[in-house]
Amino acid sequence: MEKNIAVIKGDGIGPEIVTESMKVLDKVAEKFGHKFNYTQLLMGGCSIDANGVPLTDETIAACKASDAVLMGSIGGDTTTSPWYKLPANLRPEAGLLGIRKALGLFANLRPCLLYPELAGACPLKTEISAKGFDMLIMRELTGGLYFGARKTEEVNGVMTATDTLTYSEDEIRRIAIKAFDVAMKRRKKVTSVDKANVLDSSRLWRKVVTEVAKDYPEVTLEHMLVDNSAMQLVKDPAQFDVMVTENMFGDILSDEASMITGSIGMLPSASMNETKFGLYEPSGGSAPDIAGQNKANPIATILSAAMMLRYSFDMVKEADAVENAVSKVLKDGFRTGDIMSEGMTKLSCSEMGDKIAENI
Ligand code: NAD
Ligand code: IPM
Ligand code: MN
């Protein structure tokens, strides 16, 4: 098959980790007789530097014309980078939110699983990590606080800032359906995370998710408050199968979930619309502290490419091959610095990409 992939390398470690992902995709193409054509696009800080804006109409149009988008990460050090002296709508993150909205990517799938080989990199007590876990966070991605009206103004002589959290029934229903559909292919359990003891948006969330559950009698639904969920994630992650939640809660819980898999550098992500189209990126950021040093972990981005093969291209064998190659390399004791432990062999970002490609 021939597929056109829009590639946004982005900022910081973005170019390093995407390069390794493309190396692995090229190996997949060679082994399985496919052709992947790449169109490189700018978004985020690099687009600000080149075009004065974080996202251009050309980038959006080229993504829409592609079969899928492969992305690194965008942004800089938010305390020192000049990008953060710009108005909010011209900063790197505005580009990312803009592209998610423009492509209608409302469903963000973040699978979090503890590879048995990485149990030593998991910061949880050994009796918890020994049980392992395999869950998926289904994060709503185009609503909530990220897209509500916001303003900063003077009220009675005092500077006051407002962000609004709005969800419509329709927005909740479509993400709930995605969560139940995915749960049907997994262990058939959905945990809906909200703050229904305080927020109106969460009370509506709970009501709509409960209604959707009626169409999935085989799936067990539970509701959990977000603060308890954060605690349960470190107490007993194995209890979770699919966790569905709103945008901001999902952002925070997925970083927490990533760390118990060993590192944020392990957590892939797929952002999908109603069709098979998706944008695939690691869940973590541009890691300005290690950018340009060839030491980032490329595995999250490589596993994101595997999600692209599986979800957008229906290339199941190929996706399995990438995931198996990652497992094999971990089994063989190869690690990047973030997941390094005693007795293992430490690799650079590019060496890790080479090793995974070799194992396809
Ligand atoms: P971050 O995820 O970039 O980094 C947090 C920590 O995790 C750092 O110590 C970093 O070195 C480490 N880390 C992240 N990815 C890693 C990898 N692949 N391998 C090894 N270590 C890794 O979060 P931050 O520092 O809060 O944010 C930095 C910038 O990234 C900000 O501008 C933020 O807005 C942006 N960001 C972008 C995305 C995205 O593009 N999807 C996601 C999150 C943050
Ligand atoms: C993520 C990131 C983004 C988000 C930022 C960079 C806007 O943290 O993809 O998790 O909050 O969604
Ligand atoms: Mn995040």
292 is in an annotated binding site: yes
Name every residue whose Cβ is closer than 8 Å to that of residue 155 and which is 6 or more positions away in sequence.
Answer: none
Query: Tell me, what's the pLDDT at 120?
Result: 86
Catalytic positions are 146, 195, 227, 251, 255
Tell whether 139 is in a known binding site. yes
Q: Determine the pLDDT at residue 211.
A: 98
Q: Given this model, what pLDDT does residue 33 score?
A: 98
Distance 139 CA to ligand 3 centre (A): 11
Cα 196 to averaged position of ligand 1 atoms, centre (Å):
30
Q: How wide is the angle at C-alpha 253 spanned by C-alphas 279 and 22, nearest 5°? A: 30
Is the Cβ–Cβ distance between 40 and 9 less than 8 Å? yes
User: What is the ipTM score, two decimals?
Assistant: 0.98
Domains of the chain: 1-108+266-360 (3.40.718.10), 123-149+160-260 (3.40.718.10)
- CA proximity to 304, closest of 37, 20, 10: 20
Query: Would you say 27 and 16 are in contact if contact means Cβ atoms under 8 Å apart?
Result: no
pLDDT at 303: 98
Only one residue has tokens 């069709």, namely 275
Q: Is the CB of 251 under 6 A from ligand 2?
A: yes
| Phi and psi, residue 292, nearest 5° | 75, 5
Task: Kindly report the three-state secondary structure assignment for every residue of 281-307.
Answer: CCCCCCCCCCCCCCCCCCHHHHHHHHH
Is 134 marked within a binding site?
no
- Ligand 1 atom closest to the Cα of residue 10 is 40
Give the per-residue pLDDT at 28.
98
**What is the distance between the alpha carbons of residues 215 and 173, in angstroms, rounded to a whole number?**
12
Mean pLDDT by 10 residues, the chain (360 residues): 98 98 98 98 98 98 98 98 97 98 98 93 92 97 98 97 98 98 98 98 98 98 98 97 98 96 96 97 97 98 98 98 98 97 96 98
| Contacts of range 327-335, beta carbons closer than 8 Å, 24 or more positions apart | 327/115, 327/117, 328/359, 329/355, 329/356, 329/359, 330/115, 330/117, 330/118, 331/117, 335/121
Residues 101/147, Cβ–Cβ less than 8 Å: yes
Tell how strand 278-280 and strand 68-73 pair up. Answer: parallel
Q: Determine whether the annotation assigns residue 296 to a binding site.
A: yes
Residue 286 Cα to ligand 1 middle (Å) = 4
- Distance CA(301)–CA(280), nearest Å, equals 8
| Distance, CA of 210 to CA of 205 (rounded, Å) | 8
CA gap 213, 183 in Å, rounded: 11
Residue 111 near residue 237 (C-beta atoms within 8 A): no
**Pocket of ligand 2 contains residue 93 by CB under 6 Å:** yes
For the Cβ of 283 lying below 6 angstroms from any atom of ligand 2, the answer is: yes
| Residue 1: per-residue pLDDT | 96
Angle at 71 between CA 22 and CA 244, to 5 degrees: 120
Ligand 1 pocket residues where CB is under 6 Å:
13, 17, 73-76, 78, 93, 96, 264-265, 281, 284-290, 296-297, 300, 338
